[in-house]
Amino acid sequence: MKPMIPETGTVIKVDKDMAMVLLNAGKSCKGCGAAKIGLCKPSGNVSILNVRNTVDAVVGDSVRVGLDKGTQMRGFLFAYIIPLICFIGGSILGYTISKEFSIPSFEVITGFSSLLFASIYSFRKLKKLDNSSLMTIKQIVSEEYPVNGFNHTQLMQ
């Protein structure tokens, strides 16, 4: 999954509801999987990210980017909830079958096999979610740099 901790950056281009953000490499950038395997250099280089512009940021605004709540909740569901429910459900089913047919420790086998299948399913769904989801601009931290004492929004009025 992409980092959950919001990162800050500067909007460098806006196109309808999308924006290009020049990220400042921070803590979550250093903890990202891409940085850990060497795909980027979070120590000094900055990266450019295409994000959804849901707060109508303009070029030059300093913004905080992160995952939207829906994507986070689906990620938690696939990573934690589905495997846990399948593990418990498989164990209960195995316990019932074990009592009915006198098979010792069958609940262990069914619990862990259902956990294994649920984990495989969840990892595939998480990979698809990671490839399809976009980060969004959560908030504008500061307006663009003022020009002659006025910022962009003051000049537009």
CB 9 within 8 A of CB 23: yes
pTM: 0.65
28/43 Cα distance (integer angstroms)? 12
Q: Tokens in use for 144?
A: 């663009």
**Domains with residue ranges and CATH for the chain:** 7-67+134-156 (2.40.50), 70-129 (no CATH)
Q: Tokens in use for 60?
A: 């030059």
Cα 41 to its chain centre, rounded Å, is 20
3-state secondary structure of 13: strand
Residues 89-122 have pLDDT tens digits of 999 999 999 999 999 999 999 999 999 999 999 9
Amino acid identity, position 34: A
Amino acid identity, position 75: G
Whether pLDDT at 67 is above 80 = yes
Q: Phi and psi dihedrals of 104, rounded to 5?
A: -70, 140
CB 13 within 8 A of CB 20: yes
Q: Tokens in use for 59?
A: 């070029």
